[in-house]
Amino acid sequence: MTNDLFGADDEPKIKEKVWKLNSEKDYKEFGKHTAKILYKGSTPYRTENFFRELCRDLPEHLDSKQIGSIVEYMKSVFN
């Protein structure tokens, strides 16, 4: 997964978990795993860019109610 997120081609290949995103539980587990990798990075200022890119296509995949729910959650984190 790190290779996918950060393009680390020089690291040895290890067997990675195959993610099947079929349920809400699967998505939560994937999110937690991704967060552990993302926040382990040595350049936290790039996290903002990661989230901007992740959210760029949200309107193509979610309706306004779902996007609004994400926005409200992020506002609560901000506050």
pLDDT tens for each residue of 4-31: 555 555 555 666 778 888 999 999 999 9
From 6-10, 50-54, 66-70, the region with the lowest mean pLDDT: 6-10
pLDDT exceeds cutoff 70 at 60: yes
What is residue 40's predicted lDDT score, i.e. its pLDDT? 84
**Residue bearing the bigger pLDDT, 5 or 76:** 76
pLDDT exceeds cutoff 90 at 61: yes
- Residue 77 CA to residue 79 CA, distance in Å, equals 6
Paired tokens of 1: 């997964």
Average of per-residue pLDDT values in the chain: 84
Q: Where are the alpha helices (DSSP H) in the chain?
A: 2-6, 24-40, 46-55, 58-61, 64-78
